[in-house]
Structure 1
Amino acid sequence: MNRIAAYCLCACALATTPLAWAQPAREVYRCPGNPVLYTDTLSAKEAQAKGCRTLEGAPITVVQGVRPRPAASGAAVAGARSTEERVAPGEQRARDNDARRILEGELKREEDRLAAMQKEFNNGEPERRGDERNYQKYMDRVAEMKADIARKEADVAAIKRELAKLPQ
């Protein structure tokens, strides 16, 4: 046999040698309970006292997993707040009034912009500009105006929804 083949054969033999031969044998016990416990840290007397049995064969490999955290329920989160964090009813009413005033102002501005956009749109036939000799340019501007109007209508509807959420 040549040297390389002998070296490979020796390396393969070492790689397949069980680790149990290199380490002292330890007893693995299976202890009853919920969950069932497999351990090699007990002495023979402790294992007998707990009702554990010796396992025959290969040792058991256990991979530790990450335990999921319990989900916090809404009641637990609300209960965790102290009374110091709560806002006085008068102060909350003032905050709600400020929010309503701000939203009503914003709604008025958005409705005015929407009306101006719809007037300029002129039911899908806005006036042509001087730089729009190309008909496609004009059509692109009309499509963009239509999309802007749809977006503005969605904004107005969103503000109205927010206003409806506020207490009277």
Structure 2
Amino acid sequence: MHRFFPSASLIVALPLLIASAHAQDRIYRCGNEYTNNPQVAKQKGCTLMDGGNITIIEGTKPAAKPAAAPTAGAPAAAPRNGGERVDNAAQRARDSDARAILEAELRKAEERLAEAKKAYANGEPEKQGIESRNYQRYLDRVAELKAAVTRAENDVAGIKRELDRLGPR
């Protein structure tokens, strides 16, 4: 029987090799930047980061938009920051567009409400197929139809509230 006995130097060197394979360079933080170069870190006055591994994924930088002057005859684009006011003509045009959209949505919602009420038939819709033999299925469908009518009524009421918020024409 032949046994293998590793030498003492191999026993001492093995843990050092494993530790050095897993060792990570020191990471320095310089504001919002990171580096593992000690000379750069010393020049910039960076601080050493302690603790586990650090993963940094750089994002894309937004492209700067050139400031474009409004063309003649076209209203100035409205700022989104809320600090500046929009001229009256542009605001009236927006309000008019919003009213037209809401009125179209109101017509659609009223049509859906009329269809839902017709299908609901005041809580007594005609039985369909198996519902004549399965009364629970009929009751479930009636409950769904009633819920559809309620939703449609709420939609119409909500759109009317929005139109009222816009004020009179």
TM-score by length of 1: 0.49
Q: Which has the higher contact order (CA 8 A, sep 6+)?
A: 1
- Highest Rg: 1 or 2? 1
